[in-house]
Homo-oligomer: A and B are copies of this chain.
Amino acid sequence: MNRPDIESGPDAGLDLVDALALLSFLVHDTLAELAGRHELSIVQTRLLGILRDREPTMNELGRLLGLDKSSISGLVDRAERRGLVTRTASAQDRRAVHVATTAAGRRLAAEVETAFSARIGELTAGLAPSDQARLIAYATAMIARSRSDQGDHPNLEPRLRAKT
């Protein structure tokens, strides 16, 4: 018994679909867990990530996060209440509101990003550099294909500035 081509155990003989689903859940859960240690949800973390180098309007935030404007209102409300972001009136358009991070918001976002990078580093530590490069290439190819395809999902930006 125990033929080497018939593995046993929880990950035995995963097919591509299962492997990608599990990997996706793993990364997603990892981010949720690390963000949660700072009382941040994934969407709050992404909000702070987007604001790292921009001060978009509520409307732009809606497009970047793929959410309705009313959802953005609540999201920004809760973040503002915690002192993580601020609303400022637009100089050009008196209807518009710009959102920016505070120092506290930037600090939190940086902590989550650092912890996330470290954890991903641990999870991929067993892969040789050439394999890591291949993994990047595969992921990039899949992402590119999803863009060229139909839907072209709302917005996929790097890392924590990416869509949930």
Bitwise, A113-152 to B at CB < 8 A (1) or not (0) is 0001100111111110001101110111111111101010
5 A-B pairs besides A17-B116, A18-B159, A25-B28 with CB distance below 8 A are A16-B124, A23-B24, A25-B162, A26-B146, A30-B146
Is A95 an interface position by the 8 A CB rule? no
Is A104 an interface position by the 8 A CB rule? no
A162 lies within 8 A of B22 (CB): yes
Stretch binding the partner chain, chosen from A7-15, A55-63, A86-94: A7-15
In the complex, how many residues of chain A place their beta carbon closer than 8 angstroms to a beta carbon of chain B? 57
A145 lies within 8 A of B126 (CB): yes
Q: Which of B24, B117, B125 contacts A17 (CB 8 A)?
A: B117
Please give me the 4 A-B residue pairs with the lowest Cβ-Cβ distance, nearest first: A24-B27, A19-B139, A23-B139, A18-B158
Is A98 an interface position by the 8 A CB rule? no
Question: Which residues in B have their C-beta under 8 angstroms from that of A162?
Answer: 21-22, 25
Is A153 an interface position by the 8 A CB rule? yes
Is A96 an interface position by the 8 A CB rule? no
